[in-house]
Amino acid sequence: MKISVVTAEQMRNLDRRATEEYGIPSVLLMENAGRAVFNAAVEMLGGVHRKNVVVVAGQGNNGGDGFVVARFLHNAGAHVRIFYFGNRSAAKGDALTNIEIAEKMKLDIDNSGSTRKLKAAIAECDLVIDALLGTGIKGELRPDAAKVVGCMNERIVPLLAVDIPSGIDADTGKALGSDMLRMEDAVRAEVTVTFALPKIGLVTASDGAGLAGKLIVADIGIPKEALADNGSNIYLLNSKTVFWPEAYRPRFAHKGTFGHVAIVAGSVGMTGAATLSAQGALRVGTGLVTLAVPESLNDIMEVKLTEAMTIPVLQADDARAFGMKSLDSVLEIIAKRDSVVIGPGFGRNEDTIAFTLELMRHLDKPAIIDADALFALSTNLNVLKKCKAPVIITPHPGEMATLEGTTAAEVQSNRLDIASKFASKYGVTVVLKGARTVIAEPEGKAWINTSGTPGMATGGTGDVLSGMIGGLLAQSEMQPWGIATSAVYVHGRAGELAAERLGEASMLASDLVDSLPAAIQEVLAAMPSFE
C-alpha cells in the first residue's frame, strides 16, 4: 500500500475535484474535517465535558474548520472560547457559513484582536486548538499573526493543530520568516490532524515534522479514486508501506542462495566502519560477505569479524589505506560477487581518491557508494555515468553538500528537492540520510522515511546501513529504490528498538546491529505469508 505525500496545491485540487467531479459539498468536507479534529481533542483530553478549550481561528478555511470544532466541543459539554483573528465582514464561503452558525448558537467569540485576552484565556484552559493559518500561507508571517503564534507557544497546556501548525510552509516544512526558530515563527503542536493525505511539510526533516507532534491523517470523505489520482510521486515510508524483499526463504536453500556481497572498506584508525558494514550485511540475511581490506589491516579484521571473510589487498605506498596498487585485486574480488559496498572508513588519502574514481569507472555490479568514497566522487561526478550497473549513494547532509557544492544547512532546508534532482541528473538512487531520510530514484519518485531516533546520531550507524543495502542487493532482484526503502525503514526501526532498550544517549551503532533481527521480524509479521 502506498501513502502519497502531497503539496498544498495538489491538496487543493483534490478538494476541488471532490466538489466538482463527485458533487460532494465543500461545506460537508469542512464538517468532516472539524469532526476529525474534535475526535482527536476528545482523545487528548480523555473526554471534553466541562473542559476549557480555546480555539484560535483565522479568516480562511482553516479558521472555518476551527468554528466547526468549536461547535462539536460545545455540544459535547465543553466550555469553548473562540478567538477570531480575522475581518468578520470579509469572511466568505464555507468559513462564513460556520461563523454564522456559531453566532446563532451564541458561542463565545472574541473578535477584538487582543493577544492580552488570548493569553489570559490560554492560561486557564485545558487545550488550545490552532486554526489560525492553513496550508496556503507563504512568506514571512505578518507581525500580528506572529504575535498570536507567540501567544499559543507560551502555553503550558497541550495544543492541537488543524491541518498544519500555523506558520509552517506546507511544501517545505520550513517555519516561515526565520532561519533560527523563534517562539513566534510557527506553532509547536503536540498533535496535528491533517486531512486526506499528509502534506510534504509535515513529514520532512525541516521544522514541520518536529513542530507537528503526533500526526493524524483523517479521512474527510474525498473519494478514494480521487485520492489515488493525486499527481504526487512522493510517498511516505512507514510500518504500513514497507516491504522486506527476502520474506520467503526456500526450505532447501544454502548460503549461495542468498547472495555474496563484497565490501571494500577500511583504513588505519577506521576498521570499525568496515566491521559495522559487514555486520549490517550479515544481519539482513546475506549468504556470504567478503571484506576487501588494505593488507596491513587484515589481521585486526580477522579478529573483529567471525562470520565474514577477509581478503588483504595491496595498499597505498604512503598510507595503510587503499591506493592504485589495490585496483586489480579489488576488481577481481568484485567480479565474483553479486554486489559491492565501497567507501566505509576509506580516509581521504590522495592515492585512495584516485583508486576510488578508477574503481567506479569499472563498476559492473550493483554498488553502494558511501562515506569517504563520496568525497572522492565529489572531485569528478562524471564517473557516475561510466558505471555499468545500478548505483546507490548514501550521503549524510554534509556529504551531500560536498557533492552539490553547497552547505549542509542548504541541503537540510531542501532535502527532497536536492536528493531528487541529483538522482535524476546522474541516474542513481540517492539515500539522503538523517532525520526523515529521503530515498530518491532517477525516474522521479521519492520516499520519506518515518522510522528512526536521535539515538542514531552516533558514529557507525551509516556504515551499518550501507552494509544492509549491499547485502539486500546481493540477495534480491528488486529495483535499487525498493532495496533502499526496505533497508532504510528497518535500519530506523532497529534504532528505535535499541533506544527503547538502552536509552537514546547510550546506544551505539553495534546496538542497532543487535536490534536488526527484531526489526526485520516486525516487518515480516505484517506481511502476507508465503507458505
pLDDT, tens digit (0-9, with 9 covering 90-100), for 267-301: 999 999 999 999 999 999 999 999 999 999 999 99
pLDDT over 50 at 530, yes or no: no
**302 shares a domain with 190:** no
Separation between Cα atoms, residue 244 and residue 519, nearest integer Å: 11
- What's the pLDDT score for residue 183? 56
**341 shares a domain with 207:** no
**263 shares a domain with 219:** no
pLDDT over 80 at 90, yes or no: yes
Take residue 206 and report the three cell numbers written for it. 525541516
Which of 195, 230, 265 is the endpoint of a domain?
Answer: 230
**407 shares a domain with 270:** yes
pLDDT over 70 at 182, yes or no: no
- What's the pLDDT score for residue 528? 67
Q: What's the domain range around 260?
A: 255-525
- What's the pLDDT score for residue 181? 47
Cα distances (Å, whole numbers) of residue 63 to 83, 240, 366, 394, 483: 10, 32, 52, 42, 43
**pLDDT-derived band of residue 251, with 50, 70 and 90 as boundaries?**
confident
**pLDDT-derived band of residue 527, with 50, 70 and 90 as boundaries?**
confident
Question: In sequence order, which residues have a C-beta less than 8 Å from that of residue 88 and are 6 or more positions away?
Answer: 99, 111
**190 shares a domain with 293:** no
246 in any annotated domain: no
| Count of residues making up the chain | 531
- Taking phi over 0 as left and psi of -120 to 50 as alpha, with beta for the rest, 444 belongs to left
Separation between Cα atoms, residue 441 and residue 237, nearest integer Å: 14
Which of 180, 197, 230 is the endpoint of a domain?
Answer: 230
pLDDT over 80 at 471, yes or no: yes
**506 shares a domain with 390:** yes
Cα distances (Å, whole numbers) of residue 386 to 404, 470, 521: 19, 20, 38
**430 shares a domain with 301:** yes
Residue whose C-alpha cell is 486557564: 124
**401 shares a domain with 295:** yes
Residue whose C-alpha cell is 483534490: 14
247 in any annotated domain: no
Q: Confirm if 192 and 202 have CB atoms less than 8 A apart.
A: yes
> pLDDT digits over 377-432, tens only?
999 999 998 899 999 999 999 999 999 999 999 999 889 999 999 999 999 999 99
pLDDT over 80 at 475, yes or no: yes
Number of independent structural domains in the chain: 2
238 in any annotated domain: no
pLDDT over 70 at 66, yes or no: yes
- What's the pLDDT score for residue 205? 75
Mean pLDDT of 222-247: 92
Greater model confidence, 207 or 486: 486
1 in any annotated domain: no
Which of 230, 247, 266 is the endpoint of a domain?
Answer: 230
Q: How far apart are the first and last CA of the chain?
A: 21
- What's the pLDDT score for residue 180? 42
331 in any annotated domain: yes
Angle between helices 509-525 and 480-502 (to 10 degrees): 110
Q: What is the mean pLDDT of the chain?
A: 94
**267 shares a domain with 206:** no
pLDDT over 50 at 481, yes or no: yes
| CATH at residue 109 | 3.40.50.10260
Burial (Cβ within 10 Å: 0-12, 13-18, ≥19) of residue 117:
middle
Percent of the chain exceeding pLDDT 70 equals 97
Percent of the chain exceeding pLDDT 90 equals 89
**pLDDT-derived band of residue 185, with 50, 70 and 90 as boundaries?**
confident
Separation between Cα atoms, residue 376 and residue 353, nearest integer Å: 5
Question: Which element (helix H / strand E) includes 83?
Answer: strand 79-85
pLDDT over 70 at 178, yes or no: no
Q: Confirm if 271 and 345 have CB atoms less than 8 A apart.
A: yes
- What's the pLDDT score for residue 92? 95
**pLDDT-derived band of residue 315, with 50, 70 and 90 as boundaries?**
very high
- What's the pLDDT score for residue 254? 86
* Count of CB atoms situated within 10 Å of the CB of 443: 11
- What's the pLDDT score for residue 247? 67
241 in any annotated domain: no
Which pTM was predicted? 0.93
54 in any annotated domain: yes
**91 shares a domain with 13:** yes
| CATH at residue 369 | 3.40.1190.20
Separation between Cα atoms, residue 189 and residue 29, nearest integer Å: 23
Take residue 432 and report the three cell numbers written for it. 539522503
Mean pLDDT of 30-34: 98
> pLDDT digits over 102-148, tens only?
999 999 999 999 999 999 999 999 999 999 999 988 878 888 999 99
Pick from 249, 298, 248, 251: nearest CA to 271: 298
244 in any annotated domain: no
**148 shares a domain with 188:** yes
* Count of CB atoms situated within 10 Å of the CB of 266: 32
Cα distances (Å, whole numbers) of residue 308 to 220, 261, 302, 389, 435: 52, 10, 8, 24, 30
**269 shares a domain with 167:** no
Mean pLDDT of 338-351: 97
